[in-house]
Amino acid sequence: MNNENKKQILEGSQAIAQVIKNLHPAVVSAYPITPQTHIVEKLAKLKADGEADYEYVRAESEFAAASIILGASATGVRVYSATSSQGLLLMSEVIFNIAGMRLPIVMTTANRAISAPINIWNDHSDVMAVRDAGWIQLFASDNQEAVDLHILAYKIAEQLKLPVMVNVDGFILTHAFEPVIIPSQNLIKKYLPDYKPALGTYLDPNNPVTLGAFFTPAHYFETREELHSDLMASVSVIKKEYRSLVKVLGRKNKDNGLFEYYGSKKPETILVALGSVIGTLREAVKDNKKIGVLKIKTYRPFPGEEINKILLRAKNIAVIEKAISLGQAGPLYSDIKSSLKNNKLNISNYIVGLGGRDVTTKMIKELIVDAKKNNKKTKFIGKI
């Protein structure tokens, strides 16, 4: 039986690998690291079994893998990679280069804690370490969303010449079996055509260009301003392309691709978070009509103005996140705080789930009570 465009029960990593195959990259290169490994194992198997025609390049490290896809993308072809944790940090030099060279690369980060001490479980420490690298960053809360966001990622990347990172919580999503629909190549092509970059934007012996040139102070400044401006302007493109994707795939999603709000139009408290913890938040407040949940899907560029309109509905804001900017506060909290136009709102910051620590509905209910107080401190919740 042909399972294309039909609901299947798949492990998250397998679902991501299947949709990447259907997105038809020319080059795939990665180095295995827990919990990303199942994605690249499946992609390697699809190639070995003759089910995929991409070039699968085995790399000696994550730094090498990132360099390989940089080089391949610079020749004007669609590419893909995936990584986690220390692997992403090892790639960091190349991650910045990819953005600065305006290469439309898509990469999955199976989010995992960073060392030391060594920990292989989920939090968002890895992606937050490179949040300022110049990549668009998308977060999935379930595996169907992860599949769909990869399709969106290529459309945005290739249209805007900006790299896109799709963040998927390690183990919680990558190793979880959920019902998903994997769109076929034919259906995807209705939304995402074959990649044909404009002449002069890639390396071609018949039309020589320089990519990643040496820029003096007289010119470097403007490149950073341009990258920042284009990232900020991408908000409108993300919204437009997301609406188009939902229509093509026949999804019933009603959000705008930047965030999704659940709950009362006039909530007393709004909980804000990224990734799979959204499921726990929704379960914890499903019978509470005074609480709203705001799921951030697009973290970079940060859609502060749009988010601000939602948060102004409430008296209390609780920002719940799986990362800490050491010596400051949670990075999501800092972003929201800077975008709020009403300084009288009571906004609290809760750090949860570091290193894979369980986040329970009981913890969330207690946190909601605490958020009604006039909190100004970042709190670590869930200590044993």
pLDDT per residue as tens digits for the range 138-158:
999 999 999 999 999 999 999
pLDDT at residue 276 above 60? yes
For every residue of 140-191, DSSP letters joined together read -SSHHHHHHHHHHHHHHHHHHT--EEEEEETTTTTT-EEEEE---HHHHHHH
What number is the average pLDDT over the span 48-54?
Answer: 98
Q: CB neighbours (10 Å) of residue 100?
A: 18
When mean pLDDT is compared across 95-109, 157-171, 289-303, 328-342, the lowest value belongs to: 328-342
What number is the average pLDDT over the span 53-72?
Answer: 98
Angle, CA of 313, 315 and 319, to the nearest 5°: 90
What number is the average pLDDT over the span 271-296?
Answer: 97
Query: How far apart (Å, rounded) are the C-alpha atoms in residues 143 and 14?
Result: 10
pLDDT at residue 1 above 60? no
Query: How far apart (Å, rounded) are the C-alpha atoms in residues 323 and 334?
Result: 12
Structure tokens at 47: 């190639």
Asked whether the beta carbons of 90 and 146 are under 8 A apart, the reply is: no
With respect to residue 254, please indicate whether it lies within any of the assigned structural domains: no
pLDDT > 90 fraction of the chain, expressed in percent and rounded: 95
Q: CB neighbours (10 Å) of residue 370?
A: 14
pLDDT per residue as tens digits for the range 194-251:
999 999 999 999 999 999 999 999 999 999 999 999 999 999 999 999 999 999 999 9
Give the pLDDT score at 3. 62
pLDDT at residue 376 above 90? no
pLDDT at residue 159 above 70? yes
Q: How many domains does the chain have?
A: 2
Average pLDDT taken over every residue of the chain: 96
Return the SS3 of 80: strand
**Same domain membership, residue 276 and residue 212:** no
What is the CATH classification number for the domain harbouring 93? 3.40.50.970
Residue 352 vs residue 253, higher pLDDT? 352
pLDDT at residue 130 above 70? yes
**Same domain membership, residue 93 and residue 62:** yes
Is the pTM higher than 0.85? The answer reads yes
The letter for the amino acid at 102 is R
For every residue of 58-79, DSSP letters joined together read E-SSHHHHHHHHHHHHHTT--E
Return the SS3 of 284: helix
**Same domain membership, residue 172 and residue 269:** no
Domain span holding position 374: 259-380
With respect to residue 53, please indicate whether it lies within any of the assigned structural domains: yes
**Same domain membership, residue 230 and residue 150:** yes
Choose among 64, 169, 57: nearest CA to 109. Answer: 169
Return the SS3 of 128: helix
Give the pLDDT score at 230. 98
pLDDT at residue 265 above 70? yes
Binned at pLDDT 50, 70 and 90, residue 173 comes out as very high
**Same domain membership, residue 235 and residue 95:** yes
**Same domain membership, residue 181 and residue 120:** yes
Residue with tokens 């990172």: 165
